[in-house]
Amino acid sequence: MLFRILKNSFLKRPRSIFLVFLSITMGAAVATSFLGIAGEISHKMSLELRSYGANILLEPSAVEGGGFLREVDLPKIKTVFWKYNITGFTPYLFGLVDLTAGTKHERAVITGSWFYKQLLVEGEEPSFQGIQVIAPWWELQGGMPQDADEAVVGASLARRLGVVLGSRVVALARGATKPFRVVGIVTTGGYEEEQFFAPLVTVQSLLGKMGKLSRVLVSAVTVPMDAFGKKDPAAMSKEEYEKWYCTAYVTSVAKNVEEVMAGSRAKPIWQIASAEGALLTKLNSVVLLLTLLALGASAIAVSTSLMASMAERSPEIALMKAIGADRLQISAIFLGETLIISLAGGIVGYLLGDQLAALISQSVFNSAIKSPLWLLPTAMVSAFAVALAGSAAPLRRAFLIEPVKVLKG
Amino acid sequence: MASMIIETAGLTKSYGEIRALKPLDLTVPEGEWLSVMGHSGSGKSTLLNLVGGLDRPTAGMLKVGGEDLLGRDEDGLARFRREFVGIIFQQHHLIPYLNALENVMLAQYFHSVPDEAEARSALERVGLGHRLKNRPGELSGGEQQRVCIARAIINSPRLLLGDEPTGNLDHGSTTMVLELLRELRVEERFTIIMVTHNQEVAAWGDRTIYLDDGVLVREEKKLVEG
Amino acid sequence: MQFVFKLIPQLIAWTIMVLLLLRGIPGRRRGVSLWAAGGFTMGVVGYALLARLASGTVPLGIIRCAVGGSFFLLWVVAVAAVYRSTVRDFPLVRVERFVESPFCAWGGGAIVGMVAGGISASLFPGSESGTVRFLVFSTLALAGVLLVVVARKVEWRLAPSIGVTPSSLPAVLVALLLFSSSSSLVLDLFSPLSMKVMKGTHDFVHQFMESILIPDHIFIRPAIWGYIGFLFGKEVGFWGGMVIWFFPVILISLAIYLEPLPSVAQIRQGAQRRRLLAAAISKKRRTLVIPAIALAALAGAAYRSSFPNVEYWDPKPLSVTATPAGELFIPRKGEVDLEDGRLHKYLYKQGGKEVRFFVLMTPAGKLTVVLDACAICKPDGYGQTEGMVLCYYCKTLIPLDTVGKPGGCNPVPVSFLEREDGVRLDALTLVNSWNRTVQTTTKSSGEGK
């Protein structure tokens, strides 16, 4: 009987049913996509952050020009106490050169670096280091240089020089020239687009700075900074210092690396280092909050449209009460109606939300998202929750209807 | 003497300042057809609502079927209405999106469980066997009122209340409805309390009471024939 | 502290079990509650004694058997219930007489109590001193007995309409026992069940294909291979396990649902007839509440089994003893499977010294043995999370690949010999290595975390 009532009621009032359905679907869709992304976000963001992940910058401690780091110290980075937490590092040497490609001339920064270099350290397993490890987010057209005379050009520099893949560029510095073949054009959205990248050795010899480095970027897995980590190591007791030293805070890893690179000063790159820990939790709570807000909003929408239809249906409710329906039976009819709508809304919302999540993931992380199975029950539950929350006020109103007043005359 | 199905003493109902029903003492024996007459605003509908458990008195004693209705909460009153009372209104209050059969079954559903065969035979008894699947909008006034009667008697109530059940009907339909009620009363043995302002309709009852401004002013008893 | 938190769901489940036992056997409230309380105490004491006299694995094995056996019994009950509700004359009068006898009621109460008590007791980590252990176990037994009293009081107030039938009582009891046992990875039955299903399907399909079909048979198209591939997947185990897990209780619900309504045709008045029918239907619905609770408990158990409620995989160290030659041997496939990718902790005692170490198969597929401590931190030990082990002291995550390499906060490697059947260690080397690396840092600390 209940289903007969509901079926006929649905057929009779398609418009208001549709409004409720729409609100619930929206709520479920938003919840699905947000939560789906939130689940993925922690994962993706940590990968993404890891890729922005050079979180320690090593520079020469002598600030006034001239100072350089020594290339020979580099392998020591893989032997420090925190060696397993250091996922990658890349040396850089900067200099100014005049570039000539065809008829065009440009003055630009040349950067010597490792791209994907196998590093052999005695007693350790061989590892690969370089830009490809530490900056995987580079959008590279072409490939990384393999030979000493191959180079990667920043996108805007390439535009000004009018070079394409395979073009020849001649670099002039201190009177010496060196021809390069362009094998890659890089887009990063940052200063790299103005630079000219070539293998470290080549640049060192071009600039006459054999074995010298301007800076080293290190990427390390670290523990999120907390109050203890921010304490000044100098002011710690012996036991505290011991604990601080053996905790992988970015500061302690930085200090560790600094010790092996002669004449260096290590600076944690704070925005990224702290981002790793704090940002993720914040981001997740923001997403959760947004989800709750969206669900709340759709509950309000459900409530409003149910309220309106309740006013329209008050004679009907009064009549049901008059012929003996108690509150449970009234709720069964009206909640049953909303719950059926929310069932449909939940499923449709899940499908929509899934698409939405895929879309967002595609545009933000540039990768396909595999929607986890638990999102379907989540969508259903949030649809039910929205329906129930939205029904509370209208149902209360239905309870308050007095048949005597409504049915009079 | 038959047992009393309704007993009131000092029954009062006020809406704010207005006293719709002044202290009223009334007894109705089981099986009687009682007509209640009076102008509009005389308190006759109020009396009917109180007796039917649709409203609560402000003061006084009200016993229906030997039980004090004041002791019941809202859901208790709902249970009382579905198990003890059948109500027919002036306007044929039917659920617009349910057909005749489903409207009757709705009362069964609230009472216990729906039983389609039984609902169908109830509609056949009121002469609507051919219009089971019609929605209220497709039925005439008299037919709608007969659906209401079928719905009112489906749960075998001991008390049938009519609030001007023929108020909107033409003469022919009125007679038909009243005739039907008389027949059903013989079979089902319920008590009828019918509010009307039509002398002719009132005359169908065994007894007529006259209310004026919430006070019982006159009482007429029909001589029992035979 | 963690022990107390783990215990709360157990004790709640125990209370519900007693409550439903009392409701299900209304004639013998006194006897049932006495036997149940006694059973719980017995369970706790028995666990404590057996764990002390033999080793921790003996009582755990007994509990596993008891829970598994009860689940098997539930299948029998379920089939019988369905049979009975569809076929009126059920020829098992003798069995029924036995089921209704006081022995069955008391024995049931006692057995349920013992298993529940044993499970609760097994959650205690148990590396404490004898006095502490005694206090904990006696408090636990007392709590169990007190909860029996509480359950009696609650049952008294519970709505009389919630009825327990002879088939729904075992269903809910077994379900709650399974829920209880799912709290510990050792006692859990759902995961082994799905594993068995997976292996069984695997073997069956394998043999079927080998005996009947040739791989490149013309009827086997790529799409079909896809389905066959599915049969080898992990999902088969999970879903097959789910079916076996829930089916008996669903059968019992079905049996209750199928039980015929009272015949009301002889009542002439429609309203009265319908009222009787409605009463019967609502009674039946309320009877279904109990199987619903059982289903919820089973779902809870399956959930807890699939997502174990341990933040870090951190097994209790198993005690090992050395051979007279001073050699420790850890079998590759013993009571623990060394190759399951999880770390397995062991405890070796020698002359008042305790050495903790763990064995782990790295993702690269190499067995490694390391101390449960690093060279610098306090030896709070390690737990395992996805792809990492975590140092409890400094919360540093260490990639699994690097476990076994020295340095950093990595656990200190131990030299060992890998054999076909397991891992061999030299006890003296182990103790020395612990003393060398750990002792210097333990000066201030007590043990534990």
Do the domain assignments include residue A20?
Answer: yes
Report the residue from C377, C394, C399 with minimal CB separation from A84: C399
CB A10 within 8 A of CB A17: yes
Per-residue model confidence as pLDDT tens digits over C118-176 = 999 888 765 556 788 888 889 999 999 999 999 999 988 887 777 788 888 999 999 99
Among chain C residues, the shortest Cα distance to A249 is held by C396
Q: Are residues A116 and A28 in the same domain?
A: no
The pLDDT-based confidence of C82 (bands split at 50, 70, 90) is confident
Which chain B positions have a beta carbon within 8 Å of A407's beta carbon?
89, 91, 93
Q: Are residues A97 and A8 in the same domain?
A: no
Do the domain assignments include residue B65?
Answer: no
Burial of B207 (0-12, 13-18, 19+ CB in 10 A): middle
Share of chain B above pLDDT 70, in %: 97
Residue A273 has pLDDT above 50, yes or no: no
Q: Are residues A77 and A21 in the same domain?
A: no
Q: Are residues A28 and A148 in the same domain?
A: no
**Cβ atoms within 10 Å of A402's Cβ, excluding its own:** 15
The pLDDT-based confidence of B77 (bands split at 50, 70, 90) is very high
Per-residue model confidence as pLDDT tens digits over B86-144 = 999 887 689 988 999 999 999 999 999 999 999 999 999 888 999 999 999 999 988 99
Which has more confidence, B138 or A85? B138
For A321, B123, B146, B156, B157, the CA distances from B153, given in Å and listed in that order, are: 17, 10, 11, 5, 6
Q: Are residues A215 and A78 in the same domain?
A: yes
Residue with tokens 């805070």: A249
The pLDDT-based confidence of C251 (bands split at 50, 70, 90) is very high
Do the domain assignments include residue A18?
Answer: yes
Q: Which of A131-135, A208-212, C331-335, C401-405 has the highest mean pLDDT?
A: A208-212
Q: Which of A146-150, C12-16, C163-167, C280-284 has the highest mean pLDDT?
A: C12-16
Cβ-Cβ contacts under 8 Å for B79 (sequence gap 6 or more): A324, A326, B72
Out of A77-86, A291-300, B131-140, pick the least confident: A77-86
Report d(CA A106, CA A99) in Å as an integer.
5
Q: Are residues A296 and A383 in the same domain?
A: yes
Per-residue model confidence as pLDDT tens digits over A168-216 = 898 888 888 889 999 999 887 677 888 899 999 899 988 888 888 888 8
Selection from A259, A404, A219 nearest residue A322 by Cα: A404
The answer to whether B109 contacts chain A (CB < 8 Å) is yes
Q: What is the mean pLDDT of residues A378-399?
A: 90
Share of chain A above pLDDT 70, in %: 87
How many H-runs (helices) and E-runs (strands) does chain A carry?
13, 14
Which chain A positions have a beta carbon within 8 Å of B105's beta carbon?
1, 4
Per-residue burial over A139-156, b = 16 or more CB atoms within 10 Å of its CB, e = otherwise: ebebebbeeeebbbbbbe
- Mutation for A interface: C285, C376, C396, most A CBs within 10 A: C396
Q: Are residues A137 and A212 in the same domain?
A: yes
The overall average pLDDT reported for chain B is 89
Q: Are residues A70 and A150 in the same domain?
A: yes
Residue A42 has pLDDT above 80, yes or no: no
H or E element, residue B1:
none
Do the domain assignments include residue B4?
Answer: no
Q: What is the mean pLDDT of residues A382-401?
A: 91
As a three-state string, the secondary structure of A2-48 is HHHHHHHHHHHCHHHHHHHHHHHHHHHHHHHHHHHHHHHHHHHHHHH
**What per-residue confidence (pLDDT) applies to A167?**
87
Q: Are residues A89 and A212 in the same domain?
A: yes
Domain count, chain B: 1
Whether residue A84 and residue C395 make contact (CB cut-off 8 A), yes or no, is no
Report d(CA A171, CA A96) in Å as an integer.
10
Do the domain assignments include residue B23?
Answer: no
Start-to-end CA span in chain C (Å) = 11
**What per-residue confidence (pLDDT) applies to B37?**
93
Report d(CA B141, CA B152) in Å as an integer.
16
Distance from the Cα of B223 to chain A's closest Cα (Å) equals 33
Whether residue A246 and residue C398 make contact (CB cut-off 8 A), yes or no, is no
Do the domain assignments include residue B22?
Answer: no
Report the residue from C376, C396, C399 with minimal CB separation from A223: C396
CATH number for the domain that contains residue B89: 3.40.50.300
Residue C283 has pLDDT above 50, yes or no: yes
The pLDDT-based confidence of C444 (bands split at 50, 70, 90) is very low
Report d(CA B184, CA B150) in Å as an integer.
10
Among chain A residues, the shortest Cα distance to C402 is held by A84
CB A360 within 8 A of CB A366: no
Domain ranges of chain C: 2-191+278-306, 318-441
Domain count, chain A: 2
CB C32 within 8 A of CB C105: yes
The answer to whether A243 contacts chain C (CB < 8 Å) is yes
Q: Tell me the fold of C318-441.
A: Rieske Iron-sulfur Protein (2.102.10)
Report d(CA A286, CA A302) in Å as an integer.
24
Share of chain C above pLDDT 70, in %: 82
- What is the count of residue pairs from B and C with beta carbons less than 8 Å apart? 29
Report the residue from B82, B95, B97 with minimal CB separation from A324: B82
Distance from the Cα of A316 to chain B's closest Cα (Å) equals 6
The answer to whether A247 contacts chain C (CB < 8 Å) is yes
For A188, A351, A358, A359, C85, the CA distances from A363, given in Å and listed in that order, are: 16, 19, 9, 6, 59
The pLDDT-based confidence of B162 (bands split at 50, 70, 90) is very high
Which chain A positions have a beta carbon within 8 Å of C402's beta carbon?
84
Among chain C residues, the shortest Cα distance to A87 is held by C399
Q: Are residues A163 and A74 in the same domain?
A: yes
**What per-residue confidence (pLDDT) applies to B51?**
93
Out of A394-398, C167-171, C210-214, C443-447, pick the least confident: C443-447
The answer to whether B102 contacts chain A (CB < 8 Å) is yes
Tell how far CA B42 is from the center of its chain: 18
The pLDDT-based confidence of B32 (bands split at 50, 70, 90) is very high
Q: Which domain holds residue A87?
A: 62-221
Q: Chains with 3 or more CB pairs closer than 8 angstroms to A?
A: B, C
Do the domain assignments include residue B91?
Answer: yes
Q: What is the mean pLDDT of residues C244-257?
A: 92
Q: Are residues A78 and A41 in the same domain?
A: no
**Cβ atoms within 10 Å of A243's Cβ, excluding its own:** 18
Do the domain assignments include residue A184?
Answer: yes
Which has more confidence, A196 or C448? A196
- What is the count of residue pairs from A and C with beta carbons less than 8 Å apart? 41
Q: Which domain holds residue B90?
A: 32-56+73-221
Residue A365 has pLDDT above 70, yes or no: no
Which has more confidence, B181 or C211? B181
The answer to whether B155 contacts chain C (CB < 8 Å) is yes
Q: Are residues A204 and A352 in the same domain?
A: no
The answer to whether C281 contacts chain B (CB < 8 Å) is yes
What's the pTM?
0.66
Which has more confidence, C363 or C429? C429
